[in-house]
Amino acid sequence: MNHEGLNPVPLKRKFFTPGVIVLCILALNAVVFLAIRFLFGLGAVTNLNDQYPWGLWIGVDVAAGVALAAGGFTTAALGHVMHREEYAAVIRPALLTAMLGYTFVAFGVFVDIGRWYYIWHPLIMWNGNSALFEVGICVIIYLAVLYIEFLPIITERFIGKVNLPGILSKLNKIVDKILRLLDRGLSKTMFIFIIAGVVLSTLHQSSLGTLMVIAGAKMHPLWQTPILPLLFLLSAIAVGFPMVIFESLIASRSLNLKPEMHILSKLGAMMAPLLGLYLAFKIGDMFIRETFVYLTEPNTASVMFTVEILFGVVIPLRMLLSQRVLRSPALLFTAATLVVAGVLLNRINNFIVAYTPPYAIESYFPAIGEISVTVGFVAMLVLLYRFFAIYFPIVSLPGKPATQAAKYTVKGVK
């Protein structure tokens, strides 16, 4: 199927730039702290204790990571389920983000749990009552689905170009044949995985909200509500497109491409109603539970809640209602960044700021080790994104005629 102007190609840029070297240093710094964590235990690098069992790694690496990778399922729903082909160009970058994002969510869980070598236990030891079990199982399956959705990009990159070194070159033909077979099979069945991906996402995005419900009174009433799963789902859906815009504009800047404003403006226009819906439930919940009284107490919780709502939802919502913002790359980028930061802050608030255990001696603040690992994971993610964008057909170059490669673009949805 040919899409006009859709032509994902490897970008053929130099991988190393000064910025990339900085990212490599940040990533190496994380590796050092991770080594300490695995040699001497969680206590050696984190400020976690019996009062605060969960900290930065669960709040940001896992909870925010899952939310910010939501672009994968929202664009898949838009492009594949609703067949809005005009958005096809953003699907692959969003898929790449989701795949890398969830991979690092898994890494985040892996380093945070005390017995990392038992990470496979939930696969065979089930507890249907546990929200965490449901999140875990869904994330594992979804990660597998994302890898499957990504496979056609790998096959497309290598079909007809398999060139193994030395003695292995005898296998070139067979590998090529396997790739072609895989590609044919995938293109017939891909729709199963695409729908499964959307269903799995709605399930675990909401269950991530259920996680803190059981903490009950240990969570500040500004955030503790039985509709947390709904708020988590709505905010994840609302942050999907902003994340795509945010990344697309950064990528086009750093890889020296023309911003795809014709698509991004349309995505931006869809952000306002989604944000509005989230805001309506958030404010409605606040009034039904009459928690606005806590906003008058000047403390960390009320300030963080206000910042989250005002800068993360209200201001970008107002911005996105203006045509001028939607057409300007700089303003659209600002609005998208605010939404992304707002959802990031919301997850931090829910998992860290709102958590007020009854016997806490002093409140939790992440240690250097925790911050280093989180920053390092983000750096690794960006490096891998750059690697894939440069060596694999991810980014579509506008204007060029569709080549033969384009026939692999939208798998299974012919």
Partner 1 sequence: MPGKSRRDFLKSSALIGAGITGLSSSSAKATPKNILSPDRMGVLVDTTVCVGCRNCEWACKDAHGLPAGDLESYENRKILEQKRRPDPSALTVINEYSPGKYSNLPVDVKVQCMHCDHPACVSACIVGAFTKEENGSVIWDTGKCIGCRYCMVACPFQIPTFEYDKAINPLITKCDFCFDRTKEGKLPACVDICPVEALTYGPRMELVMIARDRIRRNPDRYINHIFGEAEVGGTSWLYLASKDFNDLGFPELGKDPAPGVSESIQHGIFAYFVPPASLYALLGGMMWLSKRRKELEQEEKI
Q: Site residues for partner 1, window 224-253 (CB under 8 A)?
A: 226, 229
Task: Give the CA-trace dihedral at 137, 69, 148, 393, to 10 degrees.
Answer: -170
Give the whole-angstrom CA distance, residue 126 versus residue 253: 46
Q: Rule CB under 8 A: is residue 50 a binding residue for partner 1?
A: yes
Q: Rule CB under 8 A: is residue 362 a binding residue for partner 1?
A: no
Give the whole-angstrom CA distance, residue 294 versus residue 254: 43
Q: Rule CB under 8 A: is residue 15 a binding residue for partner 1?
A: no
Query: 205 and 239 in contact (C-beta within 8 Å)?
Result: no
Of 141, 182, 405, 413, which one interacts with partner 1 (CB under 8 A)? Answer: 413
Q: Rule CB under 8 A: is residue 91 a binding residue for partner 1?
A: no
Question: Which residues have C-beta within 8 Å of that of residue 39, sequence separation ≥ 6?
Answer: none
Give the whole-angstrom CA distance, residue 278 versus residue 354: 19
Q: Rule CB under 8 A: is residue 258 a binding residue for partner 1?
A: no
Shorter beta-carbon distance to partner 1: residue 15 or 40: 40
Structure-token pair, residue 119: 């990470």
Structure-token pair, residue 150: 């990504």
Q: Rule CB under 8 A: is residue 356 a binding residue for partner 1?
A: no
Shortest reach from residue 46's CB to partner 1, in Å: 7
Of 10, 221, 276, 357, which one interacts with partner 1 (CB under 8 A)? Answer: 357
* DSSP label at residue 361: S
Terminal C-alpha separation, the chain = 7
Shortest reach from residue 282's CB to partner 1, in Å: 18
* Positions 20 through 49 that interact with partner 1 (CB under 8 A): 38-44, 46, 48-49
Shorter beta-carbon distance to partner 1: residue 187 or 248: 187
Question: Which residues have C-beta within 8 Å of that of residue 44, sequence separation ≥ 6?
Answer: 36, 37, 369
Query: 268 and 332 in contact (C-beta within 8 Å)?
Result: yes
Shorter beta-carbon distance to partner 1: residue 28 or 214: 214
Span interacting with partner 1, options 13-21, 95-103, 186-194, 292-300, rule CB under 8 A: 186-194
Q: Rule CB under 8 A: is residue 254 a binding residue for partner 1?
A: no
Shorter beta-carbon distance to partner 1: residue 217 or 330: 217
Size of the site for partner 1 (CB under 8 A): 71
Q: Rule CB under 8 A: is residue 185 a binding residue for partner 1?
A: no
Q: Rule CB under 8 A: is residue 298 a binding residue for partner 1?
A: no
Give the whole-angstrom CA distance, residue 88 versus residue 409: 8
* Positions 111 through 150 that interact with partner 1 (CB under 8 A): 112-116, 118-119, 121-122, 125-134, 136
Of 355, 364, 388, 392, which one interacts with partner 1 (CB under 8 A)? Answer: 355
Give the whole-angstrom CA distance, residue 185 versus residue 99: 21
Q: How far is CA 399 from the centre of its chain?
A: 29
